[in-house]
Amino acid sequence: MAQKPITEFIEKHYLHFNAAALVDAAKGYKKHLEEDKKMLVSLAGAMSTGELGKSLAEMIRQDKLHIISCTGANLEEDVMNLVAHSHYERVPHYRDLTPKEEWDLLEKGLNRVTDTCIPEEEAFRRIQKHIFEIWKDAEEKGERYFPHEFLFKLLNSGVLEQYYEIDPKNSWMIEAAKKNLPMVVPGWEDSTLGNIFASYCLKGELKPSTMKSGIEYMVWLADFYTEQATDQGIGFFQIGGGIAGDFPICVVPMLYQDMERTDTPFWSYFCQISDSTTSYGSYSGAVPNEKITWGKLDIDTPKYIVESDATIVAPLIFGYVLGW
């Protein structure tokens, strides 16, 4: 019998409280897939810099998810880790840094994300010249694409292979590009590459219209959900909160209420991993039942919330779903 050390450990020790919620959510995820239903995974925060790709890439390879919604940061940071991993610096004492020490990191070209510094020169600039050529080529041809489609073109071209510093099987973006995985990247403009694209527009070297917009993402997602949900709905596995989760989940009430397609099924599974506490007006801290009032979830939709650190919980749930 195949060894499943992570699964066996979880089932033996994770019996109560948030630990039990983790197991329930993982079992619900597996059951959802066994019923031949699709699953959306949303990525907030800096999960790519946290190297979630080590488990997420395998989830993509094994068709354990069918669409990703992520921030522009997560979209680009997996690629940055791919091409500049050896230049990243960890700062375990980040809580004790003075403003002067933070400034010193800036002057070294190290942009800090909690305890990990992204090397600006090696990461951003190594990608920039190649992605600019792809942006410019599309514009000259009168073509327009979504942010993730441009990065898929970049990865599939092979031009970055000369820079690879990790095993490519641990890059979830490489796996997504291979499969042309459906994606939405709401708010891409606030990412580093989004800022770089805007700078080219300010200099008159590119046009904003070359990049498809967030509204176009929503229109595309509406068609995707309508086609893929059938009468069963799609599952929603949310890592963190923010726009990566709130943007795609709204497609259901939009279709039902604004488009008056009253046969639109609700999301058919919901799990959120978040350490945000319930507070006034907080989306990230809202309990799943609140989403019933917004027409996102049904009364009977399986609902799970794991109030813990997503960097700890998500790889464990993925490991359980993968049978590790």
Q: What is the per-residue pLDDT for 71?
A: 97
Q: Can you name the residues that pair with 38 across neighbouring β-strands?
A: none
Give the N- to C-terminal CA distance of the chain in Å, as an integer: 13
- Which tens digits make up the pLDDT trace of 254-289? 999 999 999 999 999 999 998 877 667 667 667 888
- Which tens digits make up the pLDDT trace of 196-246? 999 999 999 999 999 999 999 999 999 999 999 999 999 999 999 899 999
Q: What is the per-residue pLDDT for 287?
A: 81
Backbone angles phi, psi at 118, to 5 degrees: -85, 125
Cβ atoms of 306 and 237 closer than 8 Å: no
What does pTM read for this prediction? 0.95
In a 3-state reduction of DSSP, which class is residue 218?
helix
Q: Can you name the residues that pair with 95 across neighbouring β-strands?
A: none
Q: What is the per-residue pLDDT for 1?
A: 59
Residue tagged 């641990």 (tokens): 170
Q: Amino acid identity of 216?
A: E
pLDDT tens series, the chain, 324 aa: 578 999 999 999 999 999 999 999 999 999 999 999 999 999 998 999 999 999 999 999 999 999 999 999 999 999 999 999 999 999 999 999 999 999 999 999 999 999 999 998 898 888 999 999 999 999 999 999 999 999 999 999 999 999 999 999 999 999 999 999 999 999 999 999 999 999 999 999 999 999 999 999 999 999 999 999 999 999 999 999 899 999 999 999 999 999 999 999 999 999 999 887 766 766 766 788 889 999 999 999 999 999 999 999 999 999 999 999
Q: Which of these, 27, 315, 25, 3, lies nearest to 172 by C-alpha position?
A: 315
Task: List, edge to edge, every strand of the sheet that includes 89-90.
Answer: 89-90, 116-119, 110-113
Q: How far apart are CA 53 and CA 55, in angstroms?
A: 5
* DSSP, res 171: -
